[in-house]
A and B are shown apart, each in its own frame.
Chain A
Amino acid sequence: MRRLILFIVVTGAVLGCFAAVTWWVDPLGEIWKPGALATAQRDDCLISQELIGNSYFSFKLAVFHDRPTRTFVVGSSRVLKIASHPHERSFANLGYPGTAPSTILQLIHALPASPRQTMYVGVEAFWFNRHYRVPDTNPSDYHLAEYLISRSAFWNAFTFARQVSYVRYPDRWRRTMVGDRCTIGRTYPSINWALDGSRVWSWELDPTRFQRIYPTPYRGNLNAWRNGYYADWTTIDQARVTQLEHALALARARGWRVVGFAPPEPVTIQHILDTDPRIAPQWRAFLRLMPQVFGRYHDPWIGLGVRCPPSAFPDLFHSDAACSMRLRSRLDEAARRGS
């Protein structure tokens, strides 16, 4: 009996050591680290994407709870430049790459019903393409357990810890400067998150050290353009429309104000969406459908919201801060009018 217990205990201890090292270093960014956000708050720094990894959902929930949030925006990576005004603490950006109607519904369920919130919903047309695969941005406990005891993750963690001192106990990250802003990160903080949840590219802060993003030109291949989000899109996916409606219904039941919008597009891209025969019918159907969907819950829909010059879209996909803040003003105005 003793040797059976020894066998089980030693096995458990070795796996526990693997898990502890992997958890501490988290080489693939699967584990949410509330301490990193707390450090960023304490030092009024940004937080590097390296420490957020795939745990967007937990990060955004923490952003919501750490602020006296009354207004927030949800949506894809294209809403991430919508930020709070200087010294404004009641706004949070809860958007993240990989958002979809199902994740918005999940997020609303996870948020407290009161106090009453104002929610801006940035809806992407490609969400209603059945072939758009919603990435896992809220890993399950099972997935995390697999990750923690996986040999390859442990080996990555071990190698990483051997190479860099600032992930060894008692440290898990370091404070570095990107331009004139500090960020809590590790080796190369190319993307950072502000404390309100909005995104800051490092090239915006220090263009000499970090490479800016460039547009991927449209060459007619939908599989290659915008990560293939618009490829093989033949109809509006009704299941995802229903998920969006569930989210709006839940918000309405809680008495929240909601404003819907489609993130702005550069003129050249809007022309493609309007004229490419493989996209245009669905794009037009999307623009017709959304006012109806939001209207059913008495929520305003402001469409593409604002028109911004081509220079406002550094990669022809994501709008810059100036354009996004103009959109924020439109949303605030619509929310005021709606109330």
Chain B
Amino acid sequence: MLFNSFPFLFVFLPAVAVAYFVVPQHRLRLLLVIAASYYFYAYADWWFPALMAGSTAISYTTGRLLETETDERRRKLGLATGIAGVLALLAYFKYTAFAGGYALDFVHVLTRESFPDARTFFHGIVLPIGISFYTFEGISYMVDVYRGTLRAERDLLRYAFFISFFPHLIAGPIVRYGILQPQLTQKHRFDADRIRSGLMLFALGLAKKVLIADGIAHWVDHYLATPGQLGLVNAWACAVGFGFQIYFDFSGYSDMALGLARIFGIELPWNFDRPYRSASPTEFWRRWHVTLSTWLRDYLYIPLGGNRKGQRRQDLNLLATMGLGGLWHGASLNFVAWGLYHGVLLAGTHHGRRRGLSLPRPIAVAVTFVLVVLGWVLFRMRSAHGIAQLYAGMFGLHGIGGLPGHLALYIAIAAAIVFGLPEEWRWPVGRWNVAYVAATAVLFAVAVSSVYTSHPFIYFRF
């Protein structure tokens, strides 16, 4: 079920929200939301909830074990087993086809055998939506318990709520249990202002998605169907357009998730903070998909040594972290290339800083934006040929090209919002007066009426 769908907007959400506040007992409410979340997940495919239940059981049991076990070697073994357990599910469903496909290609080159049965098997593996997100949430929980920064949760109901809570289930934000745990111990009373604030944030997120991201997607998809025909101007328009599309798509989703959670009295961590205003790649990652970048920092980059083991090791750590971050997005080499590209940008930024290089902020923002947009080409174009063609267009090898009018208009609107207004979760929607509330309601209605032709969220496939 998609947030931008009629069954969700008109049936699921109102039914669950009303039931939540009608049910008097806190634990019954938790149970209700868990049941609703499992139903929400089963809407995509009936067996997905079983997978989530398995992943939940592994991380919950590991957490309990880590807290009771005192022997350090056994604790390490327990942690490694727990992480391997949840990662095995992710690896099988997300990376088997990728690795198997390349292995078969390699064997094919050597033996000329094509292994049709094995290829059919690999193609038949379905990626359960959201698995990348709840796997990372489970890992962060186990590691935090191991490190002693978090008490293991004894209450399975609360832990199952943390993993399955439908607002963040499919595409984040990647929540850490430490943030959610204190919010799950008390009953949330019906608060009309909080619910309105959540609804309005949800409305703004939906508008970002269906009115801007989908509008841009229509034109970007149209032009990128034939990247070889794009000249300098329209190739850049497509790359910049995709940069805005993915931002409005994903940050719109994140706003919707934050708004939905707020309706139920839960505050989720914010995920975006106008990343295109960043003056360096480092700052960009402090503003873009923040819950993923901080996860990668805390559970991968720092354990690898971070910046504590010399400059060369730091560069390697950045490349490894960002390369794996890219791979997390999708089992495809273009995502790995995109991750490594950002690793190089981050390492380059550190080197530049050490050498005292600095630019005036407006120029630094422009340079960072161009570098990020160049990276989006790797993310958007799935084949090496497509990537090469779009880069060739962007570097003028296919001529100048014309300005794509509709796309340019969308880009102008998107840029005005991005550079002129703060991120929507920062807006004081809870204190807005009647006129603002009514205007947001009109925007919400227009957005709702547009979901009929809406595209799925880009991050749903990760």
Contacts of A284 in B (CB 8 A): none
B438 touches A6 (CB 8 A): yes
Residues on the A chain within 8 Å of B10, using CB: 145
- Map CB proximity to A onto B1-25 as digits: 1 under 8 Å, 0 otherwise: 0000010001000000000000000
Identify which of A11, A145, A154 gathers the most chain B CB atoms within 10 Å of its CB.
Answer: A11
Contact of B196 among A3, A15, A151 (CB under 8 A): A3
Within 8 Å CB of B434, what residues of A? 3, 6
Task: Say whether B437 contacts A146, CB under 8 Å.
Answer: no
The answer to whether B192 and A4 have CB atoms under 8 Å apart is yes
In the assembled complex, B400 has its CB within 8 A of some CB on chain A = no
**Residue B33 at the chain A interface, CB threshold 8 Å:** no
Query: Considering the chains assembled together, what is the distance between the CA atoms of A150 and B446 in angstroms?
Result: 9
Q: Are the C-beta atoms of B441 and A7 separated by less than 8 Å?
A: yes
Query: A14-B441, A145-B6 given as contacts; is B199 within 8 A of A4 (CB)?
Result: yes
Tell me which residues from 134 to 169 in chain A have a Cβ below 8 Å from any Cβ of chain B.
142, 145-147, 149-154
From 48 to 83 in chain B, residues with beta carbon under 8 angstroms from any chain A beta carbon are: none
Q: Are B449 and A6 in contact (CB under 8 A)?
A: no
Residue numbers in B under 8 Å from A150 (CB-CB): 449-450, 452-453
Nearest CB of B to A211, in Å: 32
What is the distance, in angstroms, from A303's C-beta to the closest C-beta of chain B?
45
Given A6-B434, A150-B453, decide whether A11 and B441 contact each other with a Cβ distance below 8 A.
yes
- CB closest residue in chain A, given B200: A7
B437 touches which one: A3, A14, A142, A152 (CB < 8 A)? Answer: A3
Neighbouring A residues of B200 by C-beta, 8 Å: 7
CB contacts (< 8 Å) of A142 on chain B: these are 6
- Interface residue from A1, A12, A154 paired with B192 (Cβ < 8 Å): A1
List the B side residues contacting A110 at CB < 8 Å.
none
Complex CA–CA separation, A151 to B195 (angstroms) = 26
Interface centre among A9, A147, A150, A154 (most CB of B within 10 A): A150
Residue in chain B with minimal CB distance to A16: B445
- Residue B319 CB within 8 A of the other chain: no
Q: For chain B, residues 84 to 130, give those with C-beta under 8 angstroms from any C-beta of chain A.
A: none
Residue with the greatest number of chain B CB neighbours at <10 A, chosen from A4, A7, A8: A7
Whether a CB of chain B sits under 8 angstroms from the CB of A96 is no
Contact B437 A18 (CB under 8 A): no
Query: A173 CA to B415 CA in the complex, in Å?
Result: 45
User: Interface residue tally of chain A, by bracket?
Assistant: 20 to 34
Partner of A146, one of B196, B441, B442, B452: B452
**Residues of B with C-beta under 8 A to A13:** 445
Please determine whether A152 and B448 come into contact, CB atoms closer than 8 angstroms.
no
Which residues of A have CB within 8 Å of B445?
Answer: 10-15, 18
Chain A, Cβ-Cβ closest to B450: A151
- Closest chain A residue to B5 by CB distance? A146
The reply on B193 being an interface residue by CB < 8 A is: yes
Known A1-B192, A4-B196, A4-B199; contact A11-B448, beta-carbon cutoff 8 A: yes
Residues on the B chain within 8 Å of A15, using CB: 445, 448-449
In the complex, A3→B197 CA distance in Å? 10
In the bound complex, CA of A152 to CA of B442 (Å): 16
The minimal Cβ–Cβ distance linking A1 to chain B, given in whole angstroms, is: 4
Task: Collect the chain A residues with CB atoms within 8 Å of residue B448's CB.
Answer: 11, 15, 149
Contact indicator per residue, chain A 1-42, by CB within 8 Å of chain B (1) or not (0) = 101101111111111001000000000000000000000000
Given A3-B434, A146-B452, A151-B452, A10-B441 contact (CB < 8 Å): yes
Chain B residues with Cβ below 8 Å from A152 are: 450, 452-453
How far apart are the CA atoms of A142 and B10 in the complex, in Å? 11
Asked if B270 is at the interface (CB within 8 A of a chain A CB), the reply is no
A residues near B446, Cβ cutoff 8 Å:
14, 151
Tell me how far the C-beta of A56 lies from the nearest C-beta in chain B, rounded to whole angstroms. 23
| Nearest-Cβ distance from residue A19 to partner chain B, whole angstroms | 9
| Contact of A14 (CB < 8 Å), options: B192, B195, B442, B450 | B442
Smallest CB-CB A-B distances: 8 pairs:
A14-B445, A10-B441, A150-B452, A151-B449, A1-B192, A4-B196, A4-B192, A151-B450
In addition to A10-B437, A150-B450, A151-B449, 15 A-B residue pairs with Cβ atoms within 8 Å of each other are A3-B193, A3-B196, A3-B437, A4-B193, A4-B195, A11-B444, A11-B448, A14-B441, A14-B446, A15-B445, A15-B448, A146-B6, A150-B449, A151-B450, A151-B452
Interfacial residues, chain A to chain B (CB-CB below 8 A): 1, 3-4, 6-15, 18, 142, 145-147, 149-154
Can you name 10 A-B residue pairings with CB atoms under 8 Å?
A4-B193, A11-B444, A13-B445, A14-B442, A14-B445, A15-B449, A145-B6, A146-B6, A150-B449, A152-B450
